Homo-oligomer: A and B are copies of this chain.
Amino acid sequence: MNGTVVITGGCGFLGAALARLIATRGVTLPDGRHIEPRIALWDRPDAIAPDLDGTTFAAVDISDPQAVSAAMPDDVVLVYHLAAVVSGQAEADYDLAMRVNLGGTNAILAATRAAGDNIPLIGTSSLAVYGGRPSEPLTEATQIQPQNTYGVTKAMAELVMADYRRRGWVDARTLRLPTVTVRPGKPNAAASSFASSIIREPLKGEEAICPVDPGLAMWVASPDAAVAALWHASSVASEDWPAFGAVNVPGLRVTVSEMIAALRHHAGDTAADLIRMEPDERIAAIVGTWPTLFDTSLAQRLGFAGDADLDAILTQALAMK
């Protein structure tokens, strides 16, 4: 026990996997305390909550400050803010992206601040904040010039998080996650959704569409690596976390053709031949502005680890099937 951990987007695949990890292994707070907390999963009314002891589910509209404030538990000790409108949807609906990705972050930060003194809050951001590849490998010192609305809202949320951190209101920490692949479940409106589909669907014997040039490189991490990063982030001492608050999580640079080759190697031609090339300019325009190679030495110094190689990611995908 020792308090409640809130996870927004808690029924998404990252949120549910994180809840499972915390329910099994507990979680370490910045002050070094290891606790076995209650877990409050917040998500949309239609979300399917994982069947997991020690968790509760609440439908919370994060873009509504009153609803967020009313839902915030008195004994909250740690917040994971994962809920967001994804890239393809953000590009299609600017107002929704601002309301949820920026307004939602504002509401969560304000309610966390009201709940106690400098409570740790882990927010997920994205390599989409960069846009372009000014000088790869990128670091935390590379300029932020997002070239899609998703990246813009995430960059704005990072700025608000950083100001709450500087003011000592919330111990806010932002993780810029690589594209997570192979993401379980169904395709979603993320422009990067194909990076999971082209592995996941063929492994199930289903056709998948690849909307980008096979030469396109991406910066990726496995679901296990992404969840491990979220879990680890709360354990770093406050004084060790960088002042601005945003850290680039380790990933791997892979091309789409390398991913297809790895699928062919692990699952054979029958699977790999289920991928149909069908160029989509809208998707290529978004994903094509994302950087592909990072220097993550800051994250490594803070104890974050990434995947060993693409084979390790494929092995996870095969186990998931």
Which residues of chain A have a CB within 8 Å of any CB of chain B?
Answer: 94, 98, 106, 134, 140-149, 152, 155-156, 159-160, 162-163, 166-167, 243-244
Contacts and interface: CB of A to CB of B under 8 A. Distances in A.
A27 to B, nearest CB: 28
A162 B130 CA distance: 13
B160 A152 contact: yes
A143 B140 contact: yes
Contacts of A106: 98
Given A94-B167, A167-B94, A159 B142 contact: no
A213 to B, nearest CB: 22
A144 B146 contact: no
A69 to B, nearest CB: 15
A158 to B, nearest CB: 10
A144 B143 contact: yes
Contacts of A163: 94, 146, 149, 152
A167 to B, nearest CB: 7
A166 B162 CA distance: 25
13 contacts: A98-B106, A134-B141, A141-B143, A143-B143, A143-B144, A144-B144, A144-B159, A147-B243, A148-B166, A152-B159, A152-B163, A155-B159, A156-B160
Contacts of A148: 166
A144 B243 CA distance: 13
Nearest to A106: B98
A251 to B, nearest CB: 20
A172 to B, nearest CB: 12
B143 A142 contact: yes
B145 A162 contact: yes
Given A155-B159, A156-B159, A166 B143 contact: no
A280 to B, nearest CB: 19
A256 to B, nearest CB: 25
A192 to B, nearest CB: 19
